Amino acid sequence: MELYNLINTYAEKFIPVFIRVAVILSFIPFIGARMTPIMVRAGLAIALTLLLLPVVEVKTGNPVRSVFEAFFIGSAIGLTARIILGAVETAAQWMSIEMGIGVAAIFNPMFGEQLGPLSLFYTFISMGLFFILDMHYYFIEGIARSFDISSIQYKGIFDSIIKLNSILFPLAFKIAAPVILVQVLINLAMGFLSRALPQANIFFISFPLLITIGIIFMALSLPLVLMVVSKAFINVKDAIMVFTR
């Protein structure tokens, strides 16, 4: 009965707030993943909505505009996290291809598609960092702060998203650079060896060597990966504050 009274009291604000919360949560790692049951995602969105209803101000004069702004702000904030995950996923794909194991595709529940065998490993690392760095708290704060925006600057938010998108490939290259560099050097060495010893079957030597050396350098470069992804998430936090200031 209390829940019904709460929803009835804030009926005009419920839909815009729920849409904004649900859209942002759909982009958050693990929570918004397809492997997470729909009842869990919907229940969490409703719970956050009910917590925010008494403390946020929503312009209900134009319902269509309120719903549109909810979709826009929710997507803008949520995309900041998905860009970092996309960069990590791209780096893992590059490393899988260079190591020659890109054909061994597995199902990635975060993106709902078949990806390289390293993708799941790096995706779980980035998801772990996301929660270790308390990024989910900043997203919840961003949801609450987004309702304080008096006038949405669409151009400024678009420019910020485009600027944030520009870090995707540089970030992916930073993550994959150690493994890719050593793989290129090994391929060059094997090419020279093949020219020097044409009677030898270099392929059977190079294939396990590429995988072994790749795994070794993956382990050695893991602290660097953690540092780079952590800094990227800090930039995401700053971007959320820019969107909602």
- Among 1-5, 162-166, 202-206, where is mean pLDDT lowest? 1-5
SS3 113: strand
Q: Over the range 111-120, which residues count as b (16 or more CB within 10 Å of their CB) and which as e?
A: beeebbbbbb
The answer, yes or no, to whether residue 245 has pLDDT greater than 70, is: no
* pTM of the predicted structure, to 2 decimals: 0.74
Element (H, E) at 86: helix 63-99
The answer, yes or no, to whether residue 176 has pLDDT greater than 80, is: yes
* Residue matched to tokens 């598609």: 113
Note the pLDDT tens digit of each residue in 188-223.
887 777 777 777 677 677 777 788 888 888 888 888
Model pLDDT, residue 143: 77
Local confidence band at 74 (pLDDT 50, 70, 90 cut-offs): confident
Model pLDDT, residue 42: 80
Helix axes 11-27, 38-52, angle to 10 degrees: 130
SS3 91: helix
Model pLDDT, residue 196: 74
Note the pLDDT tens digit of each residue in 18-69.
887 887 777 776 676 666 777 878 888 888 887 777 777 776 666 677 777 7
pLDDT top residue among 131 and 154: 131
Model pLDDT, residue 64: 73
Local confidence band at 106 (pLDDT 50, 70, 90 cut-offs): low
